[in-house]
Amino acid sequence: MSFFDKFPAMERTDLRDLKKGIDSSFKEFSRSWGEGIEAFFDPLFYFLVNFEKLLLATPWPIIIAIVAALSYLGSRSWKLSAGAAVSFLVIGYLGMWNNTMSTVALISVATFICIALGIPIGIAMSKSDRLQAIITPILDIMQTIPIFVYLLPVVMLLGIGKVPGLIAVCVYAMPPIVRLTNLGLRLVDKEILEAADAFGSNYRQRLFRVQLPLALPNIFAGVNQTIMMALAMVVIASMIGVKGLGVPVLQSIQNQYLALGLMNGLAIVALAIIFDRVSQQYGKRLQRHREGGNDV
Amino acid sequence: MSDYKIEIKNLYKIFGPDDKNMVELVANGLGKQELLDQHQHVLGLRDVNIGISASSINVIMGLSGSGKSTLIRHINRLIEPTVGEIIVNGENVLAMDQDKIRDFRRFGASMVFQNFGLMPHRTVLENAMYGLNIQGVVSSEGEKRAQHWLDRVGLSGFEDRFPAQLSGGMQQRVGLARALATDADILLMDEAFSALDPLIRADMQAILLDLQDELHKTIVFITHDLDEALRIGDDIAILRDGELIQKGTPQKIVLKPANDYVADFTKDVNRARVLTLDTLSHEVGSKKGLPLESNLPIEDAMQKMVESKFDLITVMKDNKSIGQVSLDDMVAAISRPKPTDSGSTTNYR
């Protein structure tokens, strides 16, 4: 009866050896390959560092003007544009300017990477059911695995700093854009695609003239989600040495600085709202053709 | 080369994983239902042979499930056949490689769809230009040509609208302009007017007939509506369960239905509008009648006869009398033929 009382688990020593084996082989791997992998990510590092330096070196009135202009270009709304400018003024007045610039740099670069990788992956997925079956569980893992679990190997490989932080943010923020690109392309009306084929479109013409434009609202929802999730990672990224608004939040948790945490936390919220509203308005404008007056 | 512009020979289409091996069973007489029950394959088309003459409107008609939409998609190979040949301009479409079939679709045959198939993100003008974009025509030239066809179908002033802002009839005009703009001499129309309400449909039929008078394209027109088929068709082919049942001029279909199925189809037709004087004309004495053209429908002839004082019509062709038609002849022709007593007419409705 002891079979039912006690779970037939692995011998404790075997289990310990297994774990040890995995640990030591990964350590071995990171010792021999760590530098190479670090070198591989160097361009990313320089890109991020230089972008951050550029933002910090630019005089603040110019940054605010750019923020207001970009908000207006995206949303075509003076209110939103003015709101963004005021938020940045308040953030700067409360002494969070440099941290905010660092965070904006990180989010921008992370979003850029997610789009550059995520959209092609999404396109490939929409073409092949098998690829979709392979990638979907990977995306599930990326979104649900506790962040610290993959932070550890990344830190072991690359050490503490901006690049591992960036990778952590991208791992977490990329799934929505991949999923929604795939979904958007698959949802394009079959009859419209048949029409495209009937007129002799080749693969590129079909993709760029018909499928992508029609999937754009979904793809854009993916971009929006990616930005939001990247912002949500700012505090955790600060734990592995990424500068920005996350650092003071982390300090406030450790030292019970209520006001410090609140202010920096609200600054993150302000950034999120600005990014979200502007990108949503822009996405809506892309769909102006849907506002038919005359429904058939 | 044959006399036909498009020739479909021994075409079979069976849907299912093992379609090639099913052809023989079907050729040996296995029915649609048995094929589905015993082999889980769906019969699309069975041994279809149709010749389509150039510069005419060829209607392929049948009820839903008869395989008519499947058939038209074989002509530009949107659907691959199981076996068979499709010869267009002397060339086998099924032997073309990807590049060639693409060129054929770009320059040889354009298509109009039941639910229009317009691209919602493109304006009316951009939609009409789509085929030209794909052909690689420079945009200024393409715009001019697309605009020309939009004007021809009566859409001047709507160039910058989006499809969602137009009514169904107008959307299909865009579809027609898009197909005409590529200058292909074959036009494939898949239930093009079926989604439109009756008045708009009649309008579109008139537009198509007008354009055809001038353009002389080879049009393959799919429909399930016999009145539409009779109105626009130079030639009608009737499909049932993937098989060609009868092919001929509208008059022949109405006057000499090949079997009960076709007879049942045609029984509610307005025969006075379909039948023309020459089908009734016969030689009788020398009594002088009202001279009327031989291709005049009986409906119009009766009207003219009532207005005049004659009780007889002299049928004229090329300014020569080819026979006579009396009022009794016409009444007999338009009265409904005796219903066939085989009875069960409902099972395929």
Q: Does residue B68 sit in the same domain as residue B130? A: yes
Query: How far, in Å, CA of A258 to CA of A234, rounded?
Result: 18
User: Quick check: A204 contacting B, CB < 8 Å?
Assistant: no
The answer to whether residues A63 and A55 touch, using CB atoms and an 8 Å cutoff, is yes
CB neighbours of residue A267 within 10 Å: 25
Q: Does residue B124 sit in the same domain as residue B230? A: yes
Q: Is residue A166 part of a domain?
A: yes
Q: Which residues contact B108 (CB under 8 A, 6 or more apart)?
A: B76, B88, B89, B184, B185, B186
Q: Does residue B221 sit in the same domain as residue B294? A: no
The CA distance from A185 to the nearest CA of chain B, in Å, is 14
pLDDT score recorded for residue A295: 38
Q: Which residues contact A177 (CB under 8 A, 6 or more apart)?
A: A114, A115, A118, A119, A122, A219, A222, A223, A225, A226
Asked if A294 lies within 8 A of B133 by C-beta distance, the reply is no
Encoded tokens for A156: 């072991």
Residue A219: which of A263, A252, A173, A177 has the closest Cα? A177
pLDDT score recorded for residue B57: 93
Q: Is residue B107 part of a domain?
A: yes
pLDDT > 70: percent of chain A:
97
CB neighbours of residue A215 within 10 Å: 25
Cα–Cα distances (Å) from A38 to A4, A33, A113, A127, in that order, read: 50, 9, 17, 33
Q: Does residue B236 sit in the same domain as residue B311? A: no
Asked if A214 lies within 8 A of B121 by C-beta distance, the reply is yes
3-class state of residue A243 by DSSP: coil
Q: Is residue B340 part of a domain?
A: no
The CA distance from B17 to the nearest CA of chain A, in Å, is 18
User: Quick check: A296 contacting B, CB < 8 Å?
Assistant: yes
Question: Residue B113: its chain A contacts at CB < 8 A?
Answer: 191, 194-195, 198
Option in A192, A198, A292 nearest B105 (CB)? A198
Question: Residue A292: its chain B contacts at CB < 8 A?
Answer: 162-165
Asked if A195 lies within 8 A of B118 by C-beta distance, the reply is yes
Asked if B164 lies within 8 A of A291 by C-beta distance, the reply is yes
pLDDT score recorded for residue B175: 95
Q: Which residues contact A51 (CB under 8 A, 6 or more apart)?
A: A105, A108, A109
pLDDT score recorded for residue B190: 93
Option in A198, A210, A295 nearest B111 (CB)? A198
Please state, rounded to an integer, the average pLDDT across all residues of chain A.
90
The answer to whether residues A238 and A250 touch, using CB atoms and an 8 Å cutoff, is yes
Q: Is residue A11 part of a domain?
A: no
Option in B117, B121, B164 nearest A194 (CB)? B117
pLDDT score recorded for residue B345: 41
Q: Does residue B239 sit in the same domain as residue B284? A: no
Residue A73 belongs to domain with CATH number: 1.10.3720.10
Which of B134, B137, B182 to mutate against chain A (most A CBs within 10 Å)? B134
- List, as one string, the DSSP characters of A73-134: HHH--HHHHHHHHHHHHHHHHTT-HHHHHHHHHHHHHHHHHHHHHHHHHHHHHHH-HHHHHH
User: Quick check: A9 contacting B, CB < 8 Å?
Assistant: no
Q: Is residue B346 part of a domain?
A: no
Q: Is the pLDDT of residue A294 over 60?
A: no
Asked if A194 lies within 8 A of B168 by C-beta distance, the reply is no
Residue A103: which of A280, A273, A272 has the closest Cα? A272
The CA distance from B101 to the nearest CA of chain A, in Å, is 8
The CA distance from B185 to the nearest CA of chain A, in Å, is 13
Q: Is the pLDDT of residue A223 over 60?
A: yes
User: pLDDT-derived band of residue A293, with 50, 70 and 90 as boundaries?
Assistant: very low
Option in A194, A199, A293 nearest B130 (CB)? A199
Q: What is the mean pLDDT of residues A206-213?
A: 93
Tens digits of per-residue pLDDT, A177-204? 999 999 999 999 999 999 999 999 999 9
Residue B177 belongs to domain with CATH number: 3.40.50.300
Q: Does residue B133 sit in the same domain as residue B253? A: yes
Which of A188, A199, A291 to mutate against chain B (most B CBs within 10 Å)? A199
A198: nearest CA partner in chain B: B105
User: Quick check: A290 contacting B, CB < 8 Å?
Assistant: yes
User: Quick check: A209 contacting B, CB < 8 Å?
Assistant: yes
Residue B275 belongs to domain with CATH number: 3.10.580.10
Residue A240: which of A230, A231, A254, A250 has the closest Cα? A250
- Last residue in a domain, options B220, B235, B266: B266
Residue B75: which of B247, B218, B208 has the closest Cα? B218
The CA distance from A97 to the nearest CA of chain B, in Å, is 41
Question: Residue B119: its chain A contacts at CB < 8 A?
Answer: 192, 195-196, 210, 213-214
Which of B98, B121, B158, B196 to mutate against chain A (most A CBs within 10 Å)? B121
Question: Residue A216: its chain B contacts at CB < 8 A?
Answer: 121
Residue B153: which of B129, B133, B170 has the closest Cα? B170
User: Quick check: A187 contacting B, CB < 8 Å?
Assistant: no
pLDDT score recorded for residue B343: 41
Sign of CA dihedral B306, B312, B316, B320: negative
Option in B106, B111, B167 nearest A294 (CB)? B167
- Tell me the residue range of the domain where B325 lies: 271-334
The CA distance from A209 to the nearest CA of chain B, in Å, is 9
Q: Which residues of chain B have pLDDT under 50?
A: 1, 339-349
3-class SS string, B97-145: CHHHHHHHHHHHEEEECCCCCCCCCCCHHHHHCHHHHHHCCCHHHHHHH
CB neighbours of residue A273 within 10 Å: 15
**Complex ipTM value:** 0.81
- Tell me the residue range of the domain where A38 lies: 33-286
User: Structural domain tally of chain A?
Assistant: 1
Q: Is residue B42 part of a domain?
A: yes
B261, containing H or E segment: helix B260-266
Tens digits of per-residue pLDDT, A47-71? 999 999 999 999 999 999 999 999 9
Asked if B78 lies within 8 A of A289 by C-beta distance, the reply is no
Q: Which residues contact B349 (CB under 8 A, 6 or more apart)?
A: B63
The CA distance from A283 to the nearest CA of chain B, in Å, is 13
Residue B198 CA, distance from chain mean position:
17
**Long-range CB contacts (within 8 A, 24+) of A63-70:** A63/A88, A63/A101, A64/A88, A64/A89, A67/A274, A70/A278
Residue whose structure tokens are 């409705």: B349
Query: How far, in Å, CA of A192 to CA of A213, rounded?
Result: 12
Q: Does residue B195 sit in the same domain as residue B215? A: yes
Cα–Cα distances (Å) from A109 to A45, A154, A282, B13, in that order, read: 10, 18, 20, 53
User: Structural domain tally of chain B?
Assistant: 2
Q: Is residue A120 part of a domain?
A: yes
Query: How far, in Å, CA of B311 to CA of B322, rounded?
Result: 17
Residue whose structure tokens are 């040890």: A20
Asked if A192 lies within 8 A of B117 by C-beta distance, the reply is yes
